[in-house]
Structure 1
């Protein structure tokens, strides 16, 4: 009887903590384990009043920003969202340390036949170390990719908007 209760409690906790689709959740968990070198973690949604999020350049709805907890300590933050590609959208992840410096970015699901080079580790590596005070400029400090122009510009804009949004939330002492 106790084992059944424990399983139900754990399952309920997972549902409450994260409402990410299962295929996205699995990829996010893998990246968190690798980047933060941790085995066990919890994703705790960070939510804000709609009046605040409506004024931000990035979307903060449906569990997009999470605190990453390991052993009851905040080890960083994760942001999961979508950005437009030529005819569809792609899902991406940005992992931050506690000072909101980008530790890693990852294209989780790309749904186009062309432009998937946006997901290359080499291209995404240029986002690592970017801070709230950085501005990403396509063709300047962000490399172009032949055949993926739309996706590169979209990811660049998405990360710029995310950094601006996090900076605003931080200035308002909400993070």
Structure 2
């Protein structure tokens, strides 16, 4: 009986984890992605074209894990880039989406999956709005350019570092012709 319970628990946990590279998101997460794209680019029907997995030096771009990049296409024209990434809070990874325009300026940030029981305040839209308009990691210093938020003393600096690194990575990939 105990073995059956363990197997069922593992199946349950695996079925509710999100693989950033699989692009098969549960409906609530896909709805969040679609809404963010529509808000950021003002249009529906944007298609995600997956780009090859990116290899990067973790030391040069700290605070991000599991990066996945998609080109955003609308009516055959590139409109932007979607960067899916994970960062680590106190104990758990959380997954987020950063939408960039063609100049690699941040258009929108959305938390897709937040697994920890603490620090979920970073999912607030008003707080995430601070990242919009930033480019090339500029003006992304926690407690200077990005305000802290009560209840997220570890998650807020973690996502700020992650978004800054993701922004720098996107600019680097664009400059080197990889996206």
TM-score (norm 2): 0.77
Structure 2: gaps (5+ residues):
1-20
Distance 1:133 1:144, change over 3 A: closer
CA–CA distance in structure 2, aligned partners of residues 108 and 59 of structure 1:
14
Aligned residue among 23, 37, 40 for 2:42: 37
Aligned residue among 6, 9, 28 for 2:33: 28
CA RMSD of aligned residues (A): 2.0
Q: Deviations over 1:100-134 (max 9, x none)?
A: 10011011121122211101111111100001151
Cα distance, 1:170 vs structure 2: 2.5
Aligned residue among 14, 22, 35 for 1:19: 22
For residue 8 of structure 1, what is the aligned residue in structure 2?
none
Q: Deviations over 1:24-65 (max 9, x none)?
A: 444322321232122212101122564xx346525565xx11
Contact (CA 8 Å) 1:47, 1:60: kept in 2 or not?
no
Structure 1: gaps (5+ residues):
1-17
CA–CA distance in structure 1, aligned partners of residues 141 and 127 of structure 2:
14
For residue 110 of structure 1, what is the aligned residue in structure 2?
114
CA–CA distance in structure 2, aligned partners of residues 174 and 155 of structure 1:
24
For residue 3 of structure 1, what is the aligned residue in structure 2?
none
Cα distance, 1:68 vs structure 2: 0.6
Deviation above 4 Å: which 4+ runs of structure 1?
Answer: 58-61
CA–CA distance in structure 1, aligned partners of residues 77 and 50 of structure 2:
15
CA–CA distance in structure 1, aligned partners of residues 125 and 30 of structure 2:
20
CA–CA distance in structure 1, aligned partners of residues 85 and 54 of structure 2:
18
Higher RCO, 1 vs 2 (CA within 8 Å, ≥6 residues apart): 2
For residue 52 of structure 2, what is the aligned residue in structure 1?
47
Q: Secondary structure at the match of 2:136?
A: coil
Distance 1:118 1:25, change over 3 A: same
Aligned residue among 141, 144, 151 for 2:148: 144
Greater fraction helix: 1
Number of residue equivalences = 154
TM-score (norm 1): 0.79
Contact (CA 8 Å) 2:48, 2:71: kept in 1 or not?
yes
